[in-house]
Amino acid sequence: MRQILKDHGIQLTKSLGQNFLHDGNQLGRIADLANLSTSDKVLEIGPGLGPLTEVLMKRVGQVMAIELDRKLSDVLRTRFEGSSSFSLHHVDALHFLREKAHDWTGWKVVSNLPYSVASPILVELASSPMPPSQIVATLQWEVVKRLRAKAGTKDYGVLTLLVAQRYQTGAGFKIPANCFFPQPNVDSGCLSMELRNPQPVPWSDLQTFQTLVKLAFSQRRKMMVKLLRTRWNQADVEKAMGACDLPLSIRAEQLSLEQFVELMNHLGA
């Protein structure tokens, strides 16, 4: 990996979260977690030099890669340009996901996500009207804990809920720092997320749900009723909370996903 970077004059950028996973055993475990078959279509965001891409190409029918770094994109084209099952987009992944409503029906996301943008990418995928059936992502372990968090814990918050309204977290595992180049200064892990069926929040109500959650957590120590009245009439907020059997003194971190959905339904747009 060092030699490839040197040969192509590539200098890694910390701000882009460029820590490349090179351990073959860990790459295999990630692919195994996705339960891949030759009929699968996979989106890989931030493939870097393509070690995971190579594993995926042997297991699935189609791989679409998104890589922002021009020099890394050139390496990927050289490695995989001969395969008709590989396509590459040299773009910013967040811009690509936001520019239009992509149909990810039947797709899986399997990625060592760039740590600097992993959370917004997950939220964007979970906000799609036609989301992928599964996401298997390598992330900072702190992000894994937030995605798995339960109501009432310190890790529970906006990210937890904006992803959980579409995805149920499943199996995962930690990845040692020495499996990356360069070694990150944070703990890392891989997590599988499966699309919920049925989905708790209809896509038509998603904007209202996002507004509710973000407002409710805008000041964690404050009572939620005081925060929501900046968007909804206080009397309506109190009535909705009463209908959900929620005390007016409750804070956002105490509400489950199901309770947030119920509250949203009573508040309306």
Q: Where are any strands of DSSP class E within the chain?
A: 20-21, 41-45, 62-66, 86-89, 107-112, 134-140, 167-175, 180-181, 188-195
pLDDT of amino acid 182: 80
- Helix locations, 18-176, DSSP H: 24-33, 51-57, 70-80, 93-99, 118-126, 141-148, 158-164
Task: Give the Cα separation of 201 and 231 in Å (integer).
Answer: 19
Task: Give the Cα separation of 33 and 110 in Å (integer).
Answer: 9
Instruction: Write out pLDDT tens, residues 51-67.
Output: 999 999 999 999 999 99
pLDDT of amino acid 68: 92
Task: Give the Cα separation of 198 and 135 in Å (integer).
Answer: 17
The token pair at 149 is 């968090």
pTM: 0.93
The answer on pLDDT for 143 being more than 80 is: yes
The token pair at 215 is 């407002």
Provide the Cα torsion 164, 95, 209, 107; round to 10°.
-40
Q: Per residue in 86-120, is it b (16+ CB within 10 Å) or e — as a string?
A: bebeeeebbebbeeeebebeebbbbbbbbbbbbbe
Give the model's confidence band at 185: pLDDT under 50 very low, under 70 low, under 90 confident, else very high. Answer: confident
Report the range of poorest mean pLDDT among 5-9, 177-181, 200-204.
5-9
pLDDT of amino acid 82: 84
The token pair at 90 is 């040299």
pLDDT of amino acid 18: 66
Q: How many CA atoms lie within 13 A of 166 on its CB side?
A: 23
Task: Give the Cα separation of 118 and 168 in Å (integer).
Answer: 17
25 with 52: CB under 8 angstroms?
no
Domains in the chain (CATH in brackets) are 2-195 (3.40.50.150), 203-267 (1.10.8.100)
- Decide which of 30 and 22 is more confident: 30
DSSP 139: E
Cis bond before residue 198 (omega within 30° of 0): yes
The answer on pLDDT for 2 being more than 70 is: no
